[in-house]
Structure 1
Amino acid sequence: MSFDGSAIKALLDDAVSKSAIHGVAAAVVDRSGVLFHHAAGEATQNTMFRNASMTKAVATTAALQLVEKGLLSLDTTVESVLPEFGQLQVLDGFDGDEPRLRAPASKATIRQLMTHTGGAGYFFLNEKLKRYHELTGEPHPLTGLKRSLHAPLVNDPGTAWEYGTNTDWLGMVVEKLSGQSLGDYLKQHVYGPLGMSDSTFAPSAEQRGRLLRVMQRQANGKLVPSDIDLPAVSEWDAAGHGSYGTVQDYGRFLKAWLNDGAGILEPATVRMALQDHLAPITLPEAMKPTVPELSNEVPPSPAPQSWGLGFCLTLADLPGMRSRGTADWAGIFNSFYWFDRSSGIGGVLMTQILPFFDMPVIETLIGFETAVYQQVGAAVPAA
């Protein structure tokens, strides 16, 4: 496919020149490889990014490989692999300042970890959990302390979609069954086969030197250096948020999913993972943060959405943009990806800005996706 990226290059350069974004990189991929890549501002061709929650899809891919090998079943209970998960209680509320805990009414499965219905939450998106951490002083996952994963569940497994540490537990399932750290497993079975040479949970000094700094959006729209970052040292390879890499590396991962899993998964696994595994549970209308420094409110999507195994799924064609069945997700530092198997195209756009769902980045992202489909043809032409 011939691809003219001049409109995208102009879009990214313009976002930087207006001081809306300090550094940004984007890549467009099809089934054959990277069609286009551009970096602007403080970002360069080989800039490293905190993948944050873009780690989740890669870790889920590792677990799907174990399903293929017969080492794991989607309906296996988590506690049968990791007994410590079975010790987690549900946070029902508070009696005064005392957390009210009870045993869960159901046992979480591997599938539920993959669909964020395992019951675990995040302190920055769940008011109950935020209060629990404030009252108990227990660490949250962004501290790098493994004990943070033992915070209580916020729902009975299988009853609601709740974004949280489910994928961290899934990563520990991979570690337990493979006998390797998650980083070592991925290096052998995902990063290595796909040529993702910069992807890691433990950046070297050289890689850290290529890491784009994190900036914080102020109320007046200005960007200032942020004092929020991932911990320099983590006690575990955090499958939910802990990996680093380049935009080209992530493009290689998207290419594999576009290309029937070539190099990492069987075609039948790819098709199965990209079906709706959430119904009859539905996604919340909007995501309302409890820590405004970390995330803005995420408004309802313009198209119906659900969840597959490791990915958010778009359930309708978006005019001038992605097709029905497209998979996507994001990272908290305002990095985003999608891959559209119907159109055979995917994109990744990475910045390092807080809080999440930053409007100048979102406007750039929409412009990026629109420009991609103007090149390759959308399922539904824009009116």
Structure 2
Amino acid sequence: MSSANNKDKQCPLTAVGGLAEIMATLSKDTAFDIIEIIDTATADPVRDIPGLVLYAINRNGEIILSHASGLRTNTDPLTPMTLGTIFWLASMTKVVTSIAVMQLYEQGKVDLDSTSQIEEVLPELAKVKVLTGFDDSGNPTYQKPKNKITMRMLLTHTSGFGYDMFHESLAKFEKYCAGKPEFSGHRRWLDCPVLLEPGTGFKYGAGIDWAGIFIERVSKLKLDTYFKRNILEPLGLNDISFYLSTEMRRNLVGLHARGPTGDISPIPHFLEAVHKGPDEEFPNLGGAILSVFLNAGVSPKTNARILKAETVDYMFQNHISHLPPDAMKPMDHVMPMPEMSNPMPSWSIYPKSPGWGLSFMLTPDAMPNGRGGYTAEWYGMVNLAFWCDRENGIAV
């Protein structure tokens, strides 16, 4: 990054299309340094990154930098990435589900530590067993869990549920029982055993999917309807949906995979078999959600209160501090489905082992690059990422 000098002044700059929009608080030199990094990373769509879109906002909900670079499909030069490109959010939606849970928590409809409430609303979880392995014939073996599952466990990935693409034993189990794949959209794929004793360790997985079912049963609303009424419409996002319209499909970023030679090529999109529904547009979501966290639970654009300030503070506390410091380290391991996901980045880049809030990873200490303490971050499987630094009032 450039140091401050006479030309390095804070200067608004706006451009059209896939170029950058720079406003308010970034210096021109710093902004163009970031843009250069992005454009360099997407220069070769076959060997590097096919395309990338970045938005950065401040506490007031203002975009301080946005930039689109590269291609939606790396084999088609007529598919430029734009600021309006549609992305499959994947696990980025977990934070929206967590907000919904915490709204019900504020209303007294969720007890984060009640096992009886979970068993009443989600009786399926009262029957869950721990997968201990497989016998000589390849049949799964189980044991009855000593602990019962709570909502806090579901939100912090300590319930024991996993994803088959991260956990080899679960992938083997689903082949054994001919279960539905995770991206099929079928409810049946959730009917899996847990991988460890609930509450005793961290396994990234389907806990928040169960929390979504909890929301539907308690609110008596479909999840997309609950999101619209209680989160999206108050944020001014009136046309968002789980479903893809024809127009959205035309602007959907493609999925790619890196082959044995290192070249990147398109692969079929997981959404093709799942999200088919009414025509609805899909506006930018991330900035509106993250600005609520930066602004103590209130949308700086609509002034709607989505969460109480104390609830936001509570969500940004480490809720797995009772676990060993390296509890999340197994996510560094080689994945059983490398075509689906690489290992997570090494936690060694952080001054201390990360924690987990409700529901996102937390980096407790400030970092040398300027990131503040207790910054939230997480990712979507298709290489989406966010971070939210409340200390410095910025989110990306």
For normalisation by structure 2, the TM-score amounts to 0.82
The answer to which of 263-272 and 315-324 deviates more is: 315-324
Runs of 4+ aligned structure 1 residues displaced above 4 Å come to none
- Unpaired segments ≥5 residues, structure 1: 237-243, 348-383
Q: Deviations over 1:209-259 (max 9, x none)?
A: 2111111122333210113523532699xxxxxxx955x321111111111
1:45 aligns with 2:83: yes
Q: Distance in 1 between matches of 2:374 and 2:269?
A: 35
For the aligned residue pairs, the C-alpha RMSD in angstroms reads: 1.9
- Displacement of 1:80 after TM fit? 2.2
> What is the one-letter code of the residue matched to 1:13?
D
Maintained 8 Å contact 1:144/1:235: no
> What is the one-letter code of the residue matched to 1:284?
M
Q: Residues 39 and 196 of structure 1: is their aligned pair in 2 closer, same or farther, counting only changes over 3 Å?
A: farther
User: Pick from 343, 351, 354: which aligns with 1:297?
Assistant: 343
- Displacement of 1:265 after TM fit? 0.6
- Displacement of 1:17 after TM fit? 1.6
Maintained 8 Å contact 1:328/1:338: yes
Q: Deviations over 1:8-31 (max 9, x none)?
A: 222222222232122210000111
**Any idea what SS the aligned residue of 1:57 has?**
helix
Q: Distance in 2 between matches of 1:209 and 1:198?
A: 17
**Counterpart residue number, 1:257:** 293
**Counterpart residue number, 1:216:** 257
- Displacement of 1:330 after TM fit? 0.2
Trace 1:307-322 onto structure 2 (pairs within 5 A).
307-322=356-371
**Any idea what SS the aligned residue of 1:193 has?**
coil
1:176 aligns with 2:205: no
**Counterpart residue number, 2:106:** 68
Q: Distance in 2 between matches of 1:32 and 1:323?
A: 18
Maintained 8 Å contact 1:144/1:231: no
Q: Distance in 2 between matches of 1:181 and 1:344?
A: 33
The answer to which of 160-169 and 41-50 deviates more is: 41-50
Taking only the aligned residue pairs, the percentage that are identical comes to: 35
**Any idea what SS the aligned residue of 1:56 has?**
helix
- Displacement of 1:136 after TM fit? 2.0
- Displacement of 1:51 after TM fit? 0.5
1:326 aligns with 2:372: no
The answer to which of 130-139 and 329-338 deviates more is: 130-139
Q: Distance in 2 between matches of 1:15 and 1:332?
A: 19
- Displacement of 1:106 after TM fit? 1.1
Q: Distance in 2 between matches of 1:311 and 1:199?
A: 22
- Unpaired segments ≥5 residues, structure 2: 1-23, 72-80, 299-304
**Any idea what SS the aligned residue of 1:17 has?**
coil
Larger radius of gyration: 2
**Any idea what SS the aligned residue of 1:74 has?**
coil
> What is the one-letter code of the residue matched to 1:211?
L
> What is the one-letter code of the residue matched to 2:44?
K
User: Pick from 234, 238, 247: which aligns with 1:206?
Assistant: 247
Higher share in helix: 1
Maintained 8 Å contact 2:53/2:67: yes
> What is the one-letter code of the residue matched to 2:134?
F
The answer to which of 186-195 and 114-123 deviates more is: 186-195
The answer to which of 121-130 and 276-285 deviates more is: 276-285
The answer to which of 267-276 and 6-15 deviates more is: 6-15
Maintained 8 Å contact 2:184/2:273: no
Count of aligned positions:
339
The answer to which of 56-65 and 316-325 deviates more is: 316-325
Maintained 8 Å contact 2:254/2:269: no
1:83 aligns with 2:83: no
**Counterpart residue number, 2:322:** 280
Higher RCO (CA < 8 A, seq sep 6+): 1
**Any idea what SS the aligned residue of 2:321 has?**
coil
**Counterpart residue number, 1:340:** 389
- Displacement of 1:321 after TM fit? 3.5
**Counterpart residue number, 2:190:** 149
